[in-house]
Amino acid sequence: MTAIDPRPSVIAERLSGVKRIIAVTGWKGGIGKSVTATTLALLLARQGHKVGLFDLDFAGASDHLILGAKGIFPKEEKGLEPPVYEGVKFMSVVFFSENKAVPLRGANVSDAIIELLAITQWGELDFLVLDMPPGINDAALDVMRFARKAEVLAVTTPSLLAHDVLARSMDLYKKLKVPVLGVLENMADKAGPRKLRRDPALEKALGRPEKLLGTAFAKDLARAAARLGLKPRRA
């Protein structure tokens, strides 16, 4: 007899109060997924939305550094309740790895992510932004499988190589029937509807949410987000 896996229904229940799940993905490393995911969460929170941010990158969690979040930790309350930082409910794998590299292999990473999805109490949210690990591996596929509502926001760069990888990733999302909300070209030379400028001020703004939101990068992202339909709620 095969045992019934209770996790999909537990995760569906945990995410039942979340209106939209935005999975910020990119098939390459270092192209700006984390700054995009974190800045997007901050922007949406400033616009009056209820927002969660979940850093799922076991190999290189960095959203806590981008936020400048120190000394916060989830509360154990019928599962785990994420701390609120700068108006964003924040959960990260870093809470469980104590800044050490986590020696987990593929299947274990998947299990850990599924476990975190199953125990985190997000409550009512307008948006849950997921900062995905680079590429599409078992863990990333599992997130898409378990977080059924997830819509992909893909990040790429102007490089020809990034575009080639992007095209392949789009094919796969199509096959998996995962909706793609949009593609953002980061580190662009000029602003554009779906372009986020390369902004030398960004590096100095890391860890300082107010400064981060004032960068040209954040302004471009706010404009792109509005175009993608991630608009503020009407009063």
Ligand X SMILES: Nc1ncnc2c1ncn2[C@@H]1O[C@H](COP(=O)(O)OP(=O)(O)OP(=O)(O)O)[C@@H](O)[C@H]1O
Q: Which residues are near ligand X by CB under 6 A?
A: 26, 29-35, 57, 60, 62, 134, 186-187, 196, 198-199, 202-203, 206, 217
Map tokens 């120190």 to a residue.
70
Q: 118 vs 218, which CB is nearer to Mg ion?
A: 218
Residue 47 is given by DSSP the state: T
Q: 7 vs 194, which CB is nearer to ligand X?
A: 194
- Compute how many other C-beta atoms are within 10 angstroms of the C-beta atom of residue 61: 21
Closest to 218 measured CA to CA, from 234, 205, 228, 231: 205
Q: 14 vs 110, which CB is nearer to ligand X?
A: 110
Distance (Å) of CA 4 to CA 7, 100, 228, 233, 234? 9, 34, 38, 40, 43
Of ligand X, Mg ion, none, which one sits near residue 158, judging by CB under 5 to 8 A according to partner kind? none
- By residue count, the chain amounts to 235
- Is the CB of residue 109 less than 8 Å from the CB of residue 139? yes
Applying CB under 5 A, which part among 34-42, 45-53, 91-99, 219-227 lies near Mg ion? 34-42
Residue 16: partners with Cβ closer than 8 Å, 6 or more residues away: none
CB of 103 to ligand X, least distance (A): 18
**Pairing outcome for strands 80-81 and 75-76:** antiparallel
Dist CA 170 CA 152 (whole Å): 10
Applying CB under 5 A, which part among 31-39, 105-113, 146-154, 159-167 lies near Mg ion? 31-39
CB of 24 to ligand X, least distance (A): 8
Q: 94 vs 147, which CB is nearer to Mg ion?
A: 94
Applying CB under 5 A, which part among 28-36, 71-79, 95-103, 146-154 lies near Mg ion? 28-36
Dist CA 197 CA 201 (whole Å): 11
User: What is the helix (H) or strand (E) element at residue 222, kind and residue range?
Assistant: helix 216-227
Q: 10 vs 216, which CB is nearer to ligand X?
A: 216
Of Mg ion, ligand X, none, which one sits near residue 215, judging by CB under 5 to 8 A according to partner kind? none
CB of 62 to ligand X, least distance (A): 5
CB of 130 to ligand X, least distance (A): 12
Q: 44 vs 154, which CB is nearer to ligand X?
A: 154
CB of 53 to Mg ion, least distance (A): 12
Does residue 34 bind Mg ion (CB under 5 A)? yes
User: What is the helix (H) or strand (E) element at residue 220, kind and residue range?
Assistant: helix 216-227
Please give the residue ranges that form the binding site for Mg ion (CB under 5 A). 33-34
